[in-house]
Amino acid sequence: MLVPFMIAPVVVGYVWRFVLNSDYGPIIHILRQLGLGGLVEKPLLSNPSAAMPVLIVADAWEYIPFVTLVLLAGLKSIPYEPYEAAFVDGASSLQRFHYITLPLLRPSILVAVVIRTLTSLRVFDIVFIMTGGGPGTATETLAFYGYRTAFQAYNVGFSSAINMLTFGIAVVFTILYMKIIGGGKNYA
């Protein structure tokens, strides 16, 4: 279950590019066997409307094990005594989840969401391997755009500005998450 998180993002890109290959990819073959071949008449990575959702699925597939581990660690750290007291008081399982589990899991949720947001803002490898930013610019992320600006257009200054914008977005999202999920608490 942890394999997607442990392999390099470049390998994830190659795996998904193989799996989605229109000639010999297993997912495409299964869809055709199920009579859903019309969905994949045009290769998914060449379709401007389908390429970005496919990249999102591939990126999520890579990081779901990390989020699962963080949340599982948070669940394991919750003491049993509050549940026991709530059970004695007659709280339902939904009430126990809402009033005990969720508040005690907030720091773990905050860590998972912040780290996942930061990793999603810097997605480059999967885009580079699977689509190269295409078709056209349909799958171009900020990180890929910064790369293309610096190393293909030779505009390092503008590329630095793009990377600083990405940093600013990351800071804003982190602060928002700390206010919303963290309940205004200072976790620093």
Q: What is the pLDDT of residue 32?
A: 86
Q: What is the pLDDT of residue 183?
A: 74
Q: What is the pLDDT of residue 31?
A: 86
| pTM for this prediction | 0.86
Q: Round to whole Å and give the CA distance between 172 and 123.
A: 18
**Long-range contacts of range 39-47, CB-CB < 8 Å, 24 or more positions apart?**
44/20, 45/17, 45/20, 45/130, 45/131, 46/134, 46/135, 47/135
Q: How far, in whole angstroms, is CA 114 from its chain's centroid?
A: 11
Q: Round to whole Å and give the CA distance between 58 and 4.
A: 10
Q: Round to whole Å and give the CA distance between 186 and 188.
A: 6
Q: What is the pLDDT of residue 76?
A: 96
From the first residue on, what is the mean pLDDT of each consecutive set of 10 residues in the chain (188 residues)? 90 94 88 82 88 95 95 96 94 95 95 95 94 92 95 96 96 94 66
